[in-house]
Structure 1
């Protein structure tokens, strides 16, 4: 999917919602556990009920690969039922030396046909650029994450008082462009989202941390939205585990709808 197609989806749905698919066998409703493929059954119902409101889905690869070969089969089945006009993100956080990265890219972009993949930048250009060689595919580079340990490295300042995440964003723009590179920017750091937007005015941001992690959607929009929106705000647990009963998919739909309605208001306000 190219940039203009993604922007068109945001406009069409008045939404910048990304639904994270983190199917934990210990958390999915009990009645699904007797299904031949409980992980797929869970994700299928979530997708069917939330697709009206989502412009992206983000399967967390760990929840699938932890199940071995069957998990990879489930992942492909989930990918196959996501509507083609909806952006797909392999939340895999890959990043290795060049030849290895190239094979990771082929796995997720050619074999599985994801639109994008999350990539760790720590090993530098040769670990990232192989992912950028695929037309209409995206790298989503870890820049400023919302986990507690992010400050161990990401905010360390160099001799010029520049934090490391600034250097990552500045340097990586030599590798990719707003047409094929996004940044992960955590929702729990409002004012820092503004710093990232200043450094990367035209790039899309994938923003986790709204919902269960406590991030404010209004604050994300305030600091991060640009003329084309250029935000994908992810909610995982707050949507997919809104209920653990037989009504889980309807509950997920309701939570997705609430977020989409708030996003619609924020988009309209931004246009004025």
Structure 2
């Protein structure tokens, strides 16, 4: 039921679904096969990459989800009708506390999210660690990639006094769970370079990436950069979808081996609004 309700929202892949449900890839694959076989789910090629399978409900799937919503709604309405106004307020406060306790975007007791601009002790090591762990698992990158990230980030932090450069970290309970950088110098010609955009596993799927990216782009627009560029590589579909919602457009593709493994590098460009 949870899977069907998530798929109902639209624009979701198997990987996205696994992240939202906190399930391993093999478990998601088995579940999706069963839903396709039951006629409640269909898969279609992604718009930007035919290798990506987008999930959507069939007519039977939509009927099943509608029945789930109807059943749940009837249960809630029936229960609330038996409460006095004072009891309803108690339930509301309890549900708010329960929601906070169920917040699976973080295992940290203090779940307050802060987007913090500027250098803080340990920032270089933590951002490098998030990159190394994620891209080792997802893309097979190794020591060379980690070294490139660490050295490049260290060099950038030595230039933070420049008013066109900035770094942001997302913090949950005081722990860094995401980062993004605007380098206003290295590309020249009044072009902003968006770099080192990363989230840790516990922060994925909770809107943290959107808040980080929006903070960086607000900085870009305030300083009137002509364009914003970013380099990534093919296969990072969730990130690409997020970039494209912020008006980034794919401008260039080329094979590259700078990370220690050949990938199809991609350059995205966002013009000044």
TM-score by length of 1: 0.27
TM-score by length of 2: 0.27
Q: Is the radius of gyration larger for structure 1 or structure 2?
A: 2
| Structure with more strand by fraction | 2
Kindly indicate whether structure 1 or structure 2 has the higher relative contact order, using CA contacts under 8 Å at least 6 residues apart.
1
